[in-house]
Chains A and B, each alone.
Chain A
Amino acid sequence: MARYDRTLIGLALAFALLMAANFLMPEWVRFIGLQTLARGAVALGLLVLWRTGLISFGHALYFGWGAYTAALLTRAGITDAFVLTVAATLSAGLLALLLGFLLRRYRAIFFALLNMAFSMILYGALVKTEALGSTDGFGVASPSYFGFAPEGEAVTTTLFAFSLTLTFVVVVGVHLYLRSTLGGLTLAIRENEIRVEYLGYSAERAIHIKYVISGLLAGFGGAVMAMAIGQVDPDSMALWTVSGEFVFITVLSGTGSVAATYVGALVFELIRTYAFEYAPHVWQLILGGSLLAIIMFLPEGLWSLRQRLARAKG
């Protein structure tokens, strides 16, 4: 019981600190922060699935869906960040609900790859659609906040504050879900669906619920990313490699904690930024190399690192 409370307190503290830091950090750091929040949200969704032993190699589907939903709304003249985010999140959740009826029947690698296949279909559709700028994508008007439209550096500061606040709500929500009975079912389902079924609950329904949650989170991440970048395009929103990055962040973070996901997302951003800055010709080599190193030497992800340190301290 106490354990859970500590997580909540930790989250609240982190929230307060970051909110304060928002006004001190240089803009490029804040921008990395924004992307961390966006990708972290998707990874959090994958974490929820992973707790039942399922992983999706296609969540760029919901990420891109959310991003494009937000972008299309700004095209239609709706620029309120809150409306954009909620709409993107819900529409992605709805899509997940529909596909879930099919996907909930699959497990293990088949589940992962069927997701990937669906994300490719969205990618193909986007590239094909000239109205949506095909591979160029199109611009996203900078968001307003209940009528207030920031200028200059305030653009990112406000967006970060906004995203951070919603992220806090989302993370707490997911945390509460995970400690709930429904969330607790995850391990049971991972271990023995037959028993769960014979205790009177549908394992498939539990999985379906998780899938929808992961879809909602990915849509949320997509909206944040779209608003941060100011442009949506298939290659960086819906391509299969994007899904791969999300899985990487999830594995990098480990299933240990909801907070770890965001640390993982941040590490990912930093690796990429520095690889790109110091090795412009071989940045993929560095990126891939670090992925590989982490997979091989940190099987439990960063969280295990934290625990190891704790043990070391004694």
Chain B
Amino acid sequence: MTRSSFAAQLLVAGALALAGTGPAAAKEQVVLAVPTFLTGAGAPAFGVPARNGVEVVVQAINDGTLPAPYDSKGFAGVPVQLEVYDESGGNTKQVTEFRNKVQKQNVDLFVGFTSSGTCQAVTPVAEELKALTIFAVCGTQRVFEELDTDPKYVFRTMSHATSDQVAAALYVKAKFPGVKGYTGLNQNYAWGQDSWRDFDLAMQVIAPEAKASEKLQWPKIFAGQYGAEVSALLLSEEELVHTSFWGGDLEAFIFQASPRGLFEKKKVLFTVAGTAVYRLGKKMPQGVVLGSRGPYGIFAAEKDDPLNKWFRQAYVDRFGTNPTGPSYQYAQGVLAAKFGYDKAAAANGGQFPSTEQVIAAMEGQKIPSFTTTVNLALNKGHQAITDHAYGVVKWDAEAGEPKMVDVVSFAAECVNPPDGVNSVDWIKGGMKGAKC
């Protein structure tokens, strides 16, 4: 390639970009970009189930085969063109990609993002480029509490990670009242560090009699070898082990800890193991407590709601496995988007709405989803609060699949702070205003 041909490329590409920036009138299709992990360690646990969930829902949306209230075709009647792309490769690349998608490929909206880091990197760009962006998963509460305190174009359709840990602490209090001490095994990176911090804070409020261990395990993320950690946990006095492991690390840890009887010796609390429970099946240690970042995946198995039943059926029919948390969470983001577009169109006399109209239609709404209401109650109506649930895994021999028993569900208002309160301060302050 030579300089001149670069110039050519740039001109062509530039022309494309300019051509795209026309008026939204006579919309032929809505371009929905869905960033998720297609490669790397995040792919099996999050990326692929999430993509599958989105594909199922988007296809149904275009065919108009979703149950009510989403039974109309497309977004505001306009068919959706799905653009799934890879979220791996680091923030620099993700920010670049985000800009390219908006300015070069004229994406109308984004639904997705799993990594907290990427969400934080993308948020200011989304606001700068005025691109409707619905975070479906990423955990960190910093997005709206520190980074983007006056959000306009950015939404999140599930509660942030703090609620996972609050719910976990509440579950411990409810099911293991006598617990004297708890220790932690968390990956030494942002997600693990935040998860432990919030859990520890919540425990201090909810179960002050229980003491946190002095020796917390912080293995490197993707370390893959946990022999020493398992020994250390077996030797520790605390009877409860908190871990926010996910994906390959989680599965490796289970394979290495099971033969050594850790799960018989200790009460182990997995805050995000919902992603692994179907895949591990029988190998999933019995009697461990786990959560799935909300009433998703295995927690939705028995939820008898038409939308949910349809989703599970459609998903199993298409992929032969059960939908996991991320499948639900991403699909839920798409539902919220459809909700916004349809409502805005109605308000717009049936005309296809502008992004700003969609935003207006979404802000502060209670959006019906599969197993919970997406209640955009926080941060000026941009941050959702959703219900939560924890339970104990049990292998159901005759059904030939794992089941959740001893499930405790938590209302969204019980595990989330009221609007205007920084979540960490809320926990420290004794979780005032929690409606349980």
- Determine which of A134, A235, A273 lies in contact with B90 in the assembled complex, contact meaning CB atoms within 8 Å: A235
8 Å CB interface, B14-49 against A? 14, 17-18, 38-39
How many residues in B have their beta carbons less than 8 Å from beta carbons of A? 46
Nearest A residue (CB) for B187: A135
- In the complex, the answer to whether B99 meets A28 with C-beta atoms within 8 Å is yes
Q: Provide the residues of chain A in CB contact with B99, threshold 8 Å.
A: 27-28, 31
- In the complex, the answer to whether A233 meets B121 with C-beta atoms within 8 Å is yes
Distance to closest chain B CB from A146 (angstroms)? 22
Q: Provide the residues of chain A in CB contact with B84, threshold 8 Å.
A: 280
How many residues in A have their beta carbons less than 8 Å from beta carbons of B? 45
Q: How far is the CA of A306 from the CA of B6 in the complex (A)?
A: 14
| In the assembled complex, B67 has its CB within 8 A of some CB on chain A | no
Q: Contacts A26-B14, A230-B124 known; A272 to B93 CB distance under 8 Å?
A: yes
8 Å CB interface, A257-293 against B? 263, 266-267, 270, 272-273, 276-277, 280-281, 283-284
- Determine which of B9, B96, B120 lies in contact with A31 in the assembled complex, contact meaning CB atoms within 8 Å: B96
Which of B188-196, B199-207, B344-352 touches A? Answer: B188-196
8 Å CB interface, A68-82 against B? none
- In the complex, the answer to whether A233 meets B10 with C-beta atoms within 8 Å is no
Distance to closest chain A CB from B174 (angstroms)? 30
| In the assembled complex, B105 has its CB within 8 A of some CB on chain A | yes
Nearest A residue (CB) for B104: A28
Q: Report how many A-B pairs have Cβ atoms within 8 Å.
A: 123
- In the complex, the answer to whether B124 meets A139 with C-beta atoms within 8 Å is yes
Which of A47-55, A104-112, A125-133, A180-188 touches B? Answer: A125-133
- In the complex, the answer to whether A280 meets B85 with C-beta atoms within 8 Å is yes
Q: Provide the residues of chain B in CB contact with A127, threshold 8 Å.
A: 188-189, 220
One digit per residue, 1 when the CB lies within 8 angstroms of any chain A CB and 0 when it does not, for chain B 85-104 equals: 11001111101110110111
- In the complex, the answer to whether B103 meets A28 with C-beta atoms within 8 Å is yes
Q: Provide the residues of chain A in CB contact with B92, threshold 8 Å.
A: 35, 225, 229, 231, 236-237
| In the assembled complex, A32 has its CB within 8 A of some CB on chain B | yes
| In the assembled complex, A239 has its CB within 8 A of some CB on chain B | yes
Q: How far is the CA of A236 from the CA of B121 in the complex (A)?
A: 12
Q: Contacts A135-B190, A277-B105 known; A263 to B3 CB distance under 8 Å?
A: yes
- In the complex, the answer to whether A229 meets B121 with C-beta atoms within 8 Å is yes
- In the complex, the answer to whether A239 meets B90 with C-beta atoms within 8 Å is yes
- In the complex, the answer to whether A231 meets B91 with C-beta atoms within 8 Å is yes
Q: Provide the residues of chain A in CB contact with B188, threshold 8 Å.
A: 127-128, 134
- In the complex, the answer to whether A233 meets B103 with C-beta atoms within 8 Å is no
- Determine which of A136, A233, A272 lies in contact with B140 in the assembled complex, contact meaning CB atoms within 8 Å: A136
- In the complex, the answer to whether B100 meets A136 with C-beta atoms within 8 Å is no
8 Å CB interface, A1-49 against B? 25-29, 31-32, 35
| In the assembled complex, B116 has its CB within 8 A of some CB on chain A | yes
- In the complex, the answer to whether B96 meets A32 with C-beta atoms within 8 Å is yes
Distance to closest chain B CB from A150 (angstroms)? 11
| In the assembled complex, B408 has its CB within 8 A of some CB on chain A | no
Q: Provide the residues of chain B in CB contact with A254, threshold 8 Å.
A: none
Nearest A residue (CB) for B192: A134
- Determine which of A230, A263, A273 lies in contact with B100 in the assembled complex, contact meaning CB atoms within 8 Å: A273
| In the assembled complex, A305 has its CB within 8 A of some CB on chain B | yes
Nearest A residue (CB) for B138: A136
- Determine which of A231, A263, A266 lies in contact with B95 in the assembled complex, contact meaning CB atoms within 8 Å: A231
- In the complex, the answer to whether A26 meets B17 with C-beta atoms within 8 Å is yes
Other A-B pairs beyond A127-B188, A235-B117, 16, CB < 8 Å: A26-B104, A27-B17, A28-B100, A32-B96, A128-B188, A130-B193, A137-B117, A142-B124, A229-B96, A231-B91, A235-B90, A236-B90, A267-B1, A276-B86, A280-B84, A306-B2
Mark A residues whose CB is within 8 Å of B.
Answer: 25-29, 31-32, 35, 127-128, 130, 133-139, 142, 152, 155, 225, 229-231, 233, 235-237, 239, 263, 266-267, 270, 272-273, 276-277, 280-281, 283-284, 305-306, 309
15 A/B residue pairs, CB under 8 Å, sorted by A: A25-B14, A26-B13, A26-B14, A35-B96, A130-B190, A133-B120, A134-B190, A136-B117, A136-B190, A137-B117, A225-B92, A229-B92, A233-B90, A233-B117, A276-B86
Top 4 A-B pairs, shortest CB-CB distance = A236-B90, A236-B92, A136-B117, A26-B17
